[in-house]
Amino acid sequence: MVAAFTHLSADLSGVRSEQLRDRALVGGLTIAAVSGAGLSPVAPLSVHERPDGGFTLVLLLEPGHFVVHAMPERERLLVDALTLAGQDARKAVDVFARRLAPSDVHTEKRGVG
């Protein structure tokens, strides 16, 4: 059976904590990354701020989702994307990697449904 969706997880480590505390920067990168990957949001960017200075950004896609967890205390940005199988969310991760210059990027991709 051919998968209908792709689930991509990305762990960008070694990102400067100042960048990960900058919600405007990471929010703008999220919009640019989703657009650059050809993904279509169906709702505005949603933000949940955490007391530790980190935050989570959520974009609902047609169909699927794109979630970014900024963890400045760990110098880490986590990305979780569920997209149609023909779409490539790795292009979105590349936008973050180019701008944030992490020391390491680890991705895992699998087919779903």
E strand spans, 1-113? 5-13, 46-49, 55-61, 64-71, 76-84, 104-112
Helix axes 90-100, 23-36, angle to 10 degrees: 140
Domains in the chain: how many in total?
A: 1
Structural domain span for residue 43: 5-112
Q: Are the beta carbons of 42 and 62 closer than 8 angstroms?
A: yes
CATH number at residue 27: 3.60.90.10
pLDDT per residue over 15-49, tens digit each?
999 999 999 999 999 999 999 999 999 999 999 99
pLDDT per residue over 71-96, tens digit each?
999 999 999 999 999 999 999 999 99
